[in-house]
Amino acid sequence: MSDCLFCKIIKGEIPSQVVYENEAVMIFKDIAPVAPTHWLAIPKSHIDNIYDPRLVDGELLQSIFAAIQHVSEAEGLSENGFRVIVNYGNDAGEAVPHLHFHLIAGRKLNWPPG
């Protein structure tokens, strides 16, 4: 989508610090990290949110989690643990309408979240 912030990041129109990418998925550093490690895992195809039918009918979600598994292991996040979060809607504070999974690590994370 031409006016989507994360689509612009995928196209390189907005710079980002890429941690990992393949043909379907990109993982990059969040611009305002809430922990020592804060990355965003996104599909390269524009997906609005968790209600997109392509997430339950196809291989996209498998690709995203394969990338999350690979990178979290390769970068050592799995050692002490980490959190994977999707914010949906106003109450959750969703700000960018391109599906993204926050990967947050590197400190003790509170539960329940604020």
Q: How far is the CB of 11 from Zn ion (least distance, A)?
A: 10
Positions in the binding site for ligand 5GP (CB under 6 A) = 5, 14, 16, 28-32, 40, 87, 93-96
- Interface residue with Zn ion among 38, 98, 100, 102 (CB under 5 A) is 98
Return the number of the residue (1 or 79) whose C-beta is nearest ligand 5GP.
1
Cα dihedral angle (32, 37, 38, 41), rounded to 10 degrees? 140
3-state SS assignment for residue 78? helix
Q: Can residue 1 be called a binding residue for Zn ion (CB under 5 A)? A: yes
> Of ligand 5GP, Zn ion, none, which one does residue 98 interact with (CB within 5 to 8 Å by kind)?
Zn ion
Q: Is the peptide bond before 112 cis (omega within 30 degrees of 0)?
A: yes
User: Residue 102 forms beta bridges with which residues?
Assistant: 40, 85
For residue 73, how far is the Cα from the chain centroid? 16
Given 38, 70, 98, 100, the catalytic residue: 100
> Among all residues, which ones are annotated catalytic?
100
